[in-house]
């Protein structure tokens, strides 16, 4: 049955009281077979993290439990974060923060304008986010400094949330996710995957999963499908991120095994990026259509490109055995449950000009 208790806490009980966390999840998320044409029946599975939370699905709530838990513990009243114009991370942060009474400021950088980006921009406003146009990475950095200074002077004790929500604290959500998968394999819900595929933006999901699988005793190899050309992570950075998460855990419970990750433990697939972050590719569009035939909603920025890599490798007979696709997309209709309907003309003028 879904529970707010995490696999991380079941495996290492000392962590239940040693880490501030705001429980949003309904876990474990189910694992199902995915019957795609061209892949042998029973060889491809999907982890339905699109159903992980009643407020917003996908990979963000697992991280935000720890981010927002820390914010509440330190008396923060405003979260500040960055992302592309259609950032899923920004929307998830806004929605979950609002649920516990925190304000959110989003500093956004340009990306290709799609219908999904337009809808996300409207939803930021619908859920009460302050939206600032940073235009590019340097502009966003300068804007973040100004926002943090203003919020500090206003007594809001602002907390900066890294892009994608990735940090040594936030990534613990996916260390727990890896342990959760280990429990499901042990329970016979799926065979141990030879490979696990997940979309990679900032890399926190991949870094946490790799460590969680190691602590769970699984030999599954994680393949990260790179979908962003904005400060993309390298295997070295991913290994450091895993080690940082492990260090945080071992400071609370020194009995946790010292399962350091090596650079060779990270496999990054680079062939699905296309023209850059947010730019759809024919392969991603085809993968989205194929998933829809199986009743699975995806999109072309992250999950479509990830599934496209699985399809491509299957076509080359390069899937070595049972394969797991980790669905990081939100499948909930957050527009239907928005507190109000906002309009595009409420956005900053510079963003409105881009949309025209």
pLDDT tens, 211-231? 999 999 999 999 999 999 888
d(CA 96, CA 55): 7
pLDDT of 82-108, one tens digit each? Answer: 999 999 999 999 999 999 999 999 999
**Contact assessment for residue 141 and residue 115, using Cβ atoms and an 8 Å cutoff:** no
Residue 1: pLDDT band by 50, 70, 90 thresholds?
Answer: very low
Q: Which domains, and CATH codes, for the chain?
A: 10-59+167-326 (3.40.50.1100), 61-165 (3.40.50.1100)
Q: Using the predicted structure, report yes or no on whether residue 2 has a pLDDT greater than 60.
A: no
Mean pLDDT of 140-149: 97
Mean pLDDT of the chain: 94
Residue 281: pLDDT band by 50, 70, 90 thresholds?
Answer: very high
The strand pair at 44-47 and 31-33 is best described as antiparallel
Cα distances (angstroms) measured from residue 79 to each of 107, 152, 160, 288, 299? 11, 11, 6, 33, 27
- 344 Cβ neighbours under 8 A, 6+ residues apart: 118, 121, 122, 352, 355
pTM of the model: 0.92
Mean pLDDT of 64-87: 96
d(CA 213, CA 50): 20
Burial (Cβ within 10 Å: 0-12, 13-18, ≥19) of residue 97: buried
Token pair, residue 29, equals 């998320």
Instruction: Give the DSSP letter of residue 336.
Output: T
**Contact assessment for residue 306 and residue 198, using Cβ atoms and an 8 Å cutoff:** yes
Q: Using the predicted structure, report yes or no on whether residue 194 has a pLDDT greater than 90.
A: yes
pLDDT of 328-339, one tens digit each? Answer: 999 899 999 999
């Amino acid at each position: 049955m879904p529970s707010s208790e995490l696999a991380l806490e079941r495996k290492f009980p000392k962590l239940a009281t040693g880490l501030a966390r705001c429980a949003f999840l309904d876990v474990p998320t189910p694992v199902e077979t995915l019957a795609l044409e061209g892949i042998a029946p029973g060889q491809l599975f999907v982890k339905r993290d699109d159903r992980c939370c009643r407020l917003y699905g996908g990979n963000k709530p697992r991280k935000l439990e720890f981010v927002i838990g820390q914010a509440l513990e330190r008396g923060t009243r405003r979260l500040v974060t960055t992302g592309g114009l259609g950032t899923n991370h920004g929307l998830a942060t806004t929605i979950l923060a609002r649920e516990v009474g925190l304000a959110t400021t989003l500093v956004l950088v340009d990306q290709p304008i799609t219908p999904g980006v337009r809808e996300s921009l409207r939803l930021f406003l619908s859920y009460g986010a302050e939206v600032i146009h940073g235009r590019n990475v340097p502009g966003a950095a300068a804007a973040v400094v100004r926002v943090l200074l203003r919020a500090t002077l206003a007594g809001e004790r602002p907390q900066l949330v890294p892009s994608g929500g990735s940090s040594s604290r936030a990534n613990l959500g996916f260390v727990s996710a890896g342990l959760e998968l280990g429990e499901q394999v042990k329970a016979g819900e799926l065979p141990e995957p030879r490979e696990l595929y997940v979309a990679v933006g900032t890399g926190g999901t991949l870094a946490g999963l790799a460590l969680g699988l190691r602590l769970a005793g699984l030999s599954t190899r994680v393949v990260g499908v790179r979908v962003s050309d904005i400060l993309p992570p390298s295997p070295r950075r991913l290994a450091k991120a895993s080690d940082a998460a492990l260090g945080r855990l071992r400071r609370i419970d020194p009995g946790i095994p010292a399962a350091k990750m090596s650079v060779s433990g990270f496999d990054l697939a680079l062939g699905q990026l296309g023209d850059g972050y947010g730019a759809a590719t024919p392969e991603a569009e085809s993968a989205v259509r194929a998933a829809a035939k199986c009743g699975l909603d995806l999109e072309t920025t992250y999950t479509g490109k990830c599934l496209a890599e699985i399809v491509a490798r299957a076509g080359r007979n390069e899937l070595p055995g049972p394969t797991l696709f980790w669905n990081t997309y939100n499948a909930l209709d957050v527009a239907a449950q928005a507190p109000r309907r906002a309009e595009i003309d409420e956005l900053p003028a510079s963003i409105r000009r881009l949309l025209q």
